[in-house]
Structure 1
Amino acid sequence: MRGLRPGQRCEVWVAPGSGEAERAYSTGNMLLEAPNWTLDGRALILNGAGRLWRFDLRESSLSEVPLTGIPELNNDHVLDPDGGHIFLSGEDGHIYRAPLAGGPAARITDDDGSWHFLHGVSPDGRHLAYVDIAAGDFSKPGRLRTIPAAGGAPHDVEVGPGHCDGPEYAPDGNWLYLNTESFSTIPGHAQLARVRPDGSGFERLLNSSTVDWFPHLSPDGRLASYVRFPAGTQGHPADLPVDVVLVSTSDWTAPLHTWPLFGGQGTLNVNSWSPDSQRFAYVAYPLD
């Protein structure tokens, strides 16, 4: 399980639609990743040390969400639109659903020979979008799939031969936003794209020289955030100089604001927008 390096800190930041970001929390004791913003607007949900944590924004306090029946967690977790549950990816390669207040988790995915990395839930809570790694072989490209949130047979969504990651439903459910290497022959050159859940309309959103990951739309659909890695990066590693980028969904080519930081893996893996679409959260990992 990934942890902080000597002299490294974990900082949780909250960024507005424009202007300066505010540091909400800082610790040298545990590496936290991938904030979700709760639907009541009061807290952030993060993972750390293989467990799930709730950060109360008003009290600036961190507390564990006590879960049972689930292995150690990674940073792929998404809130259920019902506001009372959360979907989680375990280190065993399976997807689970659990009460957001704590309690027993229920496994959703079958033992189908693949590893399942969750990233999106449809607005009605009925379907999940995830990346499928066949046989857990990470030398092979990830495949985009959807599955009923209650469990069942997966559905393939074709997005070309390149590795893809971060599939997330648009607020209206009509698109899946993702990053993919299908537009380039350069290893690791991920670019932002979208596709209809039925596999139609696959299109590139931005043609850049950087490696762009994890597009996240605000609940009103007007803004999006993503993390920008240096050119030549392969995968989405930790501990690099990266940028968190804010754009209008009407023009992905013109950043509205950019926040440079030391991070990458864990910084912005899942949707972290506030329910009012005014702010989003991210994590930085500065070294002294």
Structure 2
Amino acid sequence: MEFMTLMDKIREQFGVSYTFEISPGETWNRSGDKSILQIFDIETGETKVLKEFDCVIEAPNWSADGTFLTYNSNGRIFKYALATGEVTTIESHYVDNCNNDHVLDPDGSGVYVSHHTKEDGLSRIYKIYFDGREPRLVTPLAPSYLHGITPDGKTLAYCAERNGSYDIYTIPAVGGNETRLTTAFGLNDGPEYDCNGEYIWFNSERSGRMQAFCMKADGSEQTQMTHDLHWNTWFPHISPDRQKVVMVAYTETDVRPGEHVPNKNVELRLMRRALPVEANCSLPADSWSAPQTILKLFGGQGTINVNSWAPDSKRFAFVSYVHGNDSSN
């Protein structure tokens, strides 16, 4: 990994690009993009369109009571009522530059979000409330990108850059001292607790390609869970029943291992447990099936950045995109 990083710096110095690096401006140009909020049913393999948007929306979360989704768009967090299709804005006051890393508080009181603050533009974690009260800062240090919360709502897990290294940290939800869980070279991202709070799923490029990993909640027993030869696997989301993991994957020729960009053809891939739920919750790796592609779509960044499983573990929400005026995607 150190050698690969060195070679990337040399390529940049001499202007040598891979095919997928030729037009980064076009890759990140999302003006005119349309978003399609959808649900995938694991049992039937059917996709249901909930709503189409003439703007970029990202990263749906599914509420614990099953009644609504939350997502981010243009720096704000929104609610989508599943019964009526009504969209409402969650009052967040000055927290108005949220990215696609956010999770719902299990107690139903609000959403923990990652907000780029005005003083330096870096992402910090806040809690915003459904009752409209003032937001609360959780992580003074930045950048911090939220991905997970324990079932009791007491601890958050997030990716943070500290001293040039991106690793996984935890912090009390009320604020306090953060704890570093990973030290492996390269990007470690997407930490997400299982429904018992015993294990954290995450993705890491430590093997040379982005892959799914799992570890105990204290950071021990870090175990590689996927060994995809041709994909860079991001954001493994474990279902509430602990029997399935869905993730987004880029082909090896489309991105560097540490990139999760928009405007790409990606695949949603699924792993299933080979052991009963009473057995060890997440480890070892051989208790899970190899990932299988269940859906191909145009998306990437924003498609499924955070856990979007329904409480019944039979469905999950995701977003696909139509780029600019291109109706073929």
TM (normalized to structure 2)? 0.79
Which residue type is aligned with residue 204 of structure 1?
Q
Structure 2 match to 1:78? 103
C-alpha distance in structure 1 between counterparts of 2:41 and 2:61, whole Å: 15
Task: For residue 41 of structure 1, report the CA deviation from its aligned partner.
Answer: 0.8
Equivalent position of 2:188 in the other structure: 164
In structure 1, the residue corresponding to 2:126 is in which secondary structure? Answer: strand
CA distance in structure 1 between the aligned counterparts of 2:312 and 2:129, rounded to whole angstroms: 23
Residue 246 of structure 1: CA displacement?
2.3
Structure 2 residue corresponding to 1:129, chosen from 157, 161, 170: 157
Structure 1 residues 88, 244: closer, same or farther in 2, change over 3 A? same
Shift in Å at residue 3 of structure 1? Answer: 7.5
In 2: Cα distance, 1:219 partner to 1:42 partner: 16
**How many angstroms apart in 2 are the aligned matches of 1:144 and 1:167?**
7
Cα distance in structure 1, aligned partners of 2:183 and 2:200:
11
CA contact (8 A) 1:108 1:149 kept: yes
The superposition leaves residues 247-278 of structure 1 with CA deviations (integer Å, 9 ceiling, x where unpaired) of: 213324142x5111100000000000111212
CA RMSD of aligned residues (A): 1.6
Alignment-mate amino acid for residue 290 of structure 2: T
Secondary structure at 1:68's aligned position in 2?
A: coil
Instruction: Tell which deviates more after alignment, 70-79 or 147-156.
Output: 70-79
Identity, in percent, stands at 32
Q: What does 1:230-249 align with in structure 2 at a 5 Å threshold?
A: 230-232=251-253, 233-234=255-256, 235-249=259-273
Q: d(CA) in 2 for partners of 1:43 and 1:51?
A: 16
Aligned pair 1:54/2:79, yes or no? yes
**Larger proportion of strand:** 1
The structural deviation recorded for 1:181 is 0.6
Deviation at residue 54 of structure 1 after TM alignment: 0.7
- C-alpha distance after superposition, 1:4-50 (max 9, x if no partner): 433x320001011131111111122x211000001121111000010
Shift of 1:103: 3.4
Q: Which of residues 240, 243, 256 is equivalent to 1:222?
A: 243
Q: Secondary structure at the match of 1:161?
A: coil
1:1-288 aligned within 5 A: 4-6=30-32, 8-18=33-43, 19-28=45-54, 30-92=55-117, 93-110=123-140, 112=141, 114-134=142-162, 140-184=164-208, 189-209=209-229, 210-232=231-253, 233-234=255-256, 235-250=259-274, 251-255=288-292, 258-287=294-323, 288=327
Unaligned stretches of 5+ in structure 2? 1-27, 118-122, 275-287
Q: Give the letter aligned to residue 274 of structure 1.
A: A
For the residues of structure 1 that align with 2:146 and 2:83, how far apart are their CA atoms?
29
Deviation of the 1:282 alpha carbon: 0.3
Q: How many residues align?
A: 274
CA contact (8 A) 2:269 2:291 kept: no
Task: Tell which deviates more after alignment, 266-275 or 231-240.
Answer: 231-240
Alignment gaps of 5+ in structure 1: none
Shift of 1:163: 0.6
Secondary structure of 2:65's match? coil
Q: 1:21 corresponds to which letter in structure 2? A: T
From the superposition, tell whether residues 181 and 23 of structure 1 become closer, same or farther in structure 2 (CA, over 3 Å). Answer: same
Amino acid at match of 2:268: V
